[in-house]
């Protein structure tokens, strides 16, 4: 099982191989997901960062994260990062995993590297968006980006807007 600090203090650690399902919890510290761990959090408030390396996956739904969200695979696992209806106070960074971000607000920037695929849907990112090396493509639709949007080194198309067409005013 996950190690949970007393309410409102400390960090939450998700051990390797463990499933951690939380609903309606609040924590002042970071959430760290160890290799093989799975975090499924709904309506949770995280006072720090969410960090995962070689995790099975991270799903944050209806949650707020005061800091950054960072999910990377070092090549030993192809996990996922799914963010839905999320508010992030910092940056979102992911690499080597599936990335789906919808109906969310990111106060910082978004960086993906070697993601399997990236879907950025109906989401506001106040900083830069850099989408690099997605093997199965990138879709950006209904997103508002405060800084530059760049995509490079993808094996498939970068689709922006409805049916792959850029809508005036959809991106800035």
pLDDT digits (tens, 9 = 90+) for 84-108: 999 999 999 999 999 999 999 999 9
Please determine, for residue 165, whether its predicted confidence score (pLDDT) is greater than 60.
no
Confidence class of residue 31 from pLDDT cuts 50, 70 and 90?
Answer: very high
Could you tell me which of 169, 170, 108, 168 has the C-alpha nearest to residue 139? 170
The whole-model pTM stands at 0.86
**Mean pLDDT computed over 44-61:** 95
What is the DSSP pairing of strand 26-27 with strand 19-23?
unpaired
**Mean pLDDT computed over 58-68:** 96
Q: Write down the mean pLDDT value for the chain.
A: 85
Could you tell me which of 49, 142, 41 has the C-alpha nearest to residue 88? 49
pLDDT of residue 11: 76
The percent of residues above 90 in pLDDT, for the chain, comes to: 65
- Angle CA 40–122–38, to nearest 5: 15
- Quote the tokens at residue 23: 């609903």
Q: By the 8 A CB rule, do 30 and 52 touch?
A: no
**Mean pLDDT computed over 110-131:** 94
- Quote the tokens at residue 38: 């799975």
**Mean pLDDT computed over 143-163:** 74
Confidence class of residue 1 from pLDDT cuts 50, 70 and 90?
Answer: very low
């Amino acid at each position: 099982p996950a190690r949970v600090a007393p309410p409102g203090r400390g960090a939450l650690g998700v051990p390797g191989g463990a499933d951690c399902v939380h609903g309606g919890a609040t924590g002042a510290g970071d959430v760290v997901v160890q290799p093989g761990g799975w975090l499924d959090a709904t309506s949770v408030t995280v006072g720090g960062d969410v960090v995962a390396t070689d995790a099975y996956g991270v799903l944050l739904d209806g949650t707020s994260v005061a800091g950054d969200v960072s999910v990377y695979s070092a090549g030993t696992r192809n996990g996922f990062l799914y963010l839905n209806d999320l508010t992030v106070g910092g940056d979102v960074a992911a690499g080597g995993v599936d990335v789906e971000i919808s109906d969310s607000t990111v106060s910082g920037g978004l960086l993906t590297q070697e993601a399997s695929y990236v879907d950025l849907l109906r989401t506001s990112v106040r900083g830069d968006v850099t989408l690099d090396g997605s093997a199965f493509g990138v879709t950006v639709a209904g997103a508002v980006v405060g800084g530059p949007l760049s995509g490079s080194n993808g094996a498939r198309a970068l689709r922006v807007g409805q049916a792959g067409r850029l809508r005036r005013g959809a991106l800035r």
